[in-house]
Structure 1
Amino acid sequence: MTTRPALLSAVELGAAYATGELSPVEVLADVQAVIDEREPELNALYERDDPDLLHARATESADRWARGTQRGPLDGVPVTLKENIARAGRPMPAGNAGVTPVVPEVDSPIARRVDEAGMLVLGSTVMPDWGMLSSGVSSLHGITRSPLDPTLTTGGSSSGAGAAAAAGYGPLHVGTDIGGSIRLPGTWLGLATLKPSAGRIPLHSPYLGRVAGPMARSAADCALLMSVLSGPDPVDWTSLPAQDIDWLGGEPNLTSVRVGVWTDSGYGAAPDPEIVAVVRASAERLAAAGAEVVEVRPWLTQDLLDGVDVFWQARSWADFSRLAPEAQERVLPYIADWVRRGADVDGTALIDAYHCFGAVQARTVAAWAAAGDPDFIVSPVAPCAAFPAEQPMPYPDHGRGMWHINFTMPWNMTGQPAGTVDAGAMADGRRVGVQVVGRPFDDVGVLRATRWLEA
């Protein structure tokens, strides 16, 4: 095998384990070597799990594969979990140096499921303060950098998960997303990702718009991880009912597919022409394969994004205001300044801001119908390419902090699945992904489409 084990896909690792060509012990050792080599610069991990315990688990997995009693295709495959995914006894500081970390007493459904599948959890990946930045800048962890170019951002808030995926810290990583936090690292790091349907993967703490999902170097690996993570759990009262899903099967029949192309959001920042060109090239490939491609007009307005921003400010102000003054001083200054604007939001303004979520939902559903109920919409993931690693946001000034989530945020509100696939590059080499959004609950359809575009 010419490719080093750490850089193999999860699909390839499962096949190599089955034939005996590789063992989980060998793979773990190579992945740990990659982490040792790259972590001092990249800063992707908050905590690394105990190496002796991991070695013991890898040995147990190798024995199961040898006996033919493996727990599934991901037995012995390395994985990381974002630091806000609860693991019993592991602090959850949410990337923030000012908070006293929550220490959960029980595992979240995600942590429990990867353990039951025999996967090797390498550690917890970092995030920026309270997950409210689309970068790898954190008051607690410092700066997380892109493995593709350490001068550039990873994106966020699943910054460590994205860096770990792109660097080869094993093939599979779990991030979370409330407005783009899985997909933004996806586009800037050349990854395949999926923000699944709301409720598809159960959370230990459900919240409006929040999901957890896979981040990997291939869409097939995302699908394979979904086979472990998806399904209902009583901990999450929003989780979807049990469903028999063939996550890896089938290919899209593009002769009967209607695809909307959305490159003008109508609010937030206008996308770079080079990014639009990449999206349109993907649409042209779909059309050449037989898809019907239609234009999707803007349907959202700046006041709605501003209202979402105000609500999130007020929510974070509630947490910030309860911190002692000396703890507030430890919060990242950019976040502290943003949060303090929430102090002046009165009850009426807060309710008006909350209603913006409902307006986004209603207008987005109406726009989907107006486009002729497409099977998919393809769009930019973000209007810009990766920016300097030290910069907290793409547009940090003049109140434009959230202007880059204009293409990603609506699908958190409707709960529709949205994936990303690496699709091209800027003239200077920075990667550009395309977002593929599916009909409600059609996660498999999104993964099939991203697999097709990836191929």
Structure 2
Amino acid sequence: MSSTEFPLWQMNADALVQAYARGDLSPVEVLLSVRSRQQQCGSLLGAVLIAQDDAAADAQARASEARWRRGTPLSALDGVPVSVKDNIAQHGLPCRWGSRAFSDHWPTHDEQPVARLRNAGAVLLGKTNVPEFTLQGYTDNALFGPTRNPWNRALTPGGSSGGAVAAVASGIGPLALATDGGGSIRRPCAYTGLFGFKPGRGVVPRADGLPALLPGLEEIGPIARNIADLARILLVIAPEMSGSLLPTPLPSAPLRIAYWRSIGTSPVDPVIRDRVDEAAEQLRDLGHVVVAQPAPVEVEQFNTRAWPVISGAGLAAVMATLPPGADAGLGAALAHLLAAGRSLSAVDLHRAQGVQRALTEAMAQVFSTHDLVLSPACAAMPWSAERSHPERIDGQAVDGRGHAVFTAFANGAGLPALALPCRPGDDGLPIGMQVVGPRGSDALLLGLGAQWEREAAPVWRWPELIEEAAV
């Protein structure tokens, strides 16, 4: 095995591919190191990878090794280990969606982004844990149990991409493929110090997947420890973005950024607000024009009047495709949401769609005078891994979506959004922000992210608790 100053599982995708090209490393060596890391820390984190085909991954790594030796890699991602969230279909593995209702579901095809990864030579590590039907902001289910935050194992890594961020933050692969229907990439990234990208509507094509739970809202996107790795995987899964992403060009002019410190009267944890205030000032120091202003009322209206209807109706529609009695094993929260969804009328759904259209129009108005929107990614710091949500934020009682008020508007309006790490809290827990742009600004967001990473972001450090498992 090639000697390095640190374990191979710590290497990012960008560094791996460069080492493969030089002949310094083999994808087989890297897979063995990542698999060893999984064995070292898996028991500390609960459910992370919940389905694997090690023989298939071994074969993929060997095939990649042969291609690199011939000098014929398939892509800029050939030989890089990637995990896949368990609501994204991957042929050869079950896709259980965190629910007993799908416990026996084995897809016959890869969903289109997974097929692109496979055809690009990526090494598919396995499926990452999710909450039931990916509709909650923490990660636990009756099939596999909770996923724990690498920074504090008593806490949740968020959701619904909790297994994905736990994997990347702990070194079980440098990249994860995930979904974001209301913040499910951005909030978990904020809780684990990672970079995450929700593409704009349709930028990552989808086909051959699970039934659409949140039609038009949910996008597939990547999670990584740096911007270059996000760009590298997007070159494969987002053909519309196959321009000059590597290296990602920095913004060429000062950007006009609207800064939303809160959403309506919803509370925000003071440490989060403090750190994102600090980040706003750092963006000003980089030359950008950052102006704090209230979010449009349509954002809060979408959260309270549209999101519950769309998610409830979506769950009811998915369950209607299953045999009678499939809902018997649902957890209490999902059973309640299903009952609410089944009680909705066509008028209710039409009204929710009207709220969504109003949100889209309001965001178009915001972007007529601003290039981007900045906000916290989460309203609350992470909470107990066994609880679905925090009951209070900054001393104020909140409902199950109180922690998630900042993110769903980007899904409702089909906007690209990027999660970026801020300075951690005094207790060392990561804190994140998000930057949202108009349709078509995906590359611009990555450019700002590259500038932030180079000039202002905290330097990546491995979670101290996870280092208990290091060899």
Normalised TM-score (structure 1): 0.91
Q: Does 1:286 align with 2:287?
A: no
Q: Which of 51, 55, 69 is residue 52 of structure 1 equivalent to?
A: 55
Q: Which residue of 2 aligns with 1:248?
A: 246
Match of 1:338 in 2: 337
Q: Does 1:388 align with 2:384?
A: yes
Q: Which residue of 1 aligns with 2:224?
A: 216
Quote the offset at 1:47 in angstroms: 0.4
CA distance in 2: counterparts of 1:92 and 1:57, whole angstroms: 20
Deviation of the 1:112 alpha carbon:
1.1
Mapping 1:317-396, distance limit 5 Å: 317-320=316-319, 327-369=326-368, 372=369, 374-395=370-391
2:9 matches 1:6: yes
What residue in structure 2 maps to residue 236 of structure 1? none
SS in 2 for 1:141: coil
1:17 is aligned to 2:20: yes
Q: Which residue of 1 aligns with 2:458?
A: none
* Structure 2 unaligned residues grouped into runs of 5+: 455-471
1:105 aligned partner: 108
Match of 2:153 among 150, 161, 177: 150
Q: Secondary structure of 1:394's partner? A: coil
CA contact (8 A) 1:254 1:286 kept: no
Q: Distance in 2 between matches of 1:56 and 1:253?
A: 41
| Separation of aligned partners in 1, 2:123 and 2:186 | 24
Structure 1 residues 383-425: Cα deviation after superposition (integer angstroms, max 9, x where no partner): 1111111111234998822233321111112222111111122
Distance 2:320 2:61 in 1: 45
Q: CA 1:291 to 1:336, structure 2 compared with 1: closer, same or farther past 3 Å?
A: same
Seen in structure 2, the aligned counterparts of structure 1 residues 11 and 180 have a Cα distance that, compared at 3 Å, is: same
Could you tell me which runs of 5 or more consecutive residues in structure 1 were left unpaired when the two chains were aligned: 232-241
Q: Deviations over 1:322-371 (max 9, x none)?
A: 767864342122222233233332332232233222222222222333xx
CA contact (8 A) 1:136 1:154 kept: yes
Take 2:255 and 2:416, find their aligned partners in 1: how far apart are those partners?
Answer: 17
Q: How does 1:56-455 map to 2 (within 5 A)?
A: 56-99=59-102, 101-204=104-207, 205=209, 207-231=215-239, 242=240, 244-253=242-251, 255-266=253-264, 269-300=266-297, 302-307=300-305, 308-320=307-319, 327-369=326-368, 372=369, 374-395=370-391, 400-455=399-454
The 8 Å contact of residues 135 and 153 in structure 1, kept in 2 or not, is answered as yes
Q: Counterpart of 1:348 in 2: which secondary structure?
A: helix
1:234 counterpart residue number: none
Structure 1 distance, partners of 2:313, 2:451, is: 41
Whether the aligned pair in 2 keeps the contact of 1:254 and 1:291 (CA below 8 Å) is no
- Structure 1 residue 271 displacement after superposition: 1.5
* Contact 1:214-1:222 within 8 A present in 2 as well: yes
Partner Cα distance (1:168, 1:388) in 2: 22
The whole-number CA distance in structure 2 between the counterparts of 1:389 and 1:413 is 28
The answer to whether the 8 A contact 1:28-1:58 is kept is yes
Greater CA drift, 337-346 or 256-265 = 337-346
Q: SS at 1:306's partner residue?
A: helix
Residues of 2 paired with 1:52 and 1:31: CA distance?
A: 15
Q: Distance in 2 between matches of 1:401 and 1:258?
A: 33
Structure 2 CA distance for partners of 1:27 and 1:60, relative to 1, 3 Å? same
Give the counterpart of 1:34 among 34, 37, 42: 37
Of 22-31 and 395-404, more deviation after overlay is shown by: 395-404
Amino acid at match of 1:134: G
Taking the aligned partners of 1:69 and 1:253, their CA distance within structure 2 comes to 33
Contact preservation (8 Å) 1:81, 1:174: yes
Percent of residue pairs bearing the same amino acid type:
31
RMSD of aligned C-alpha atoms?
2.2
TM-score by length of 2: 0.88
Deviation at 1:318, TM superposition (A): 4.0
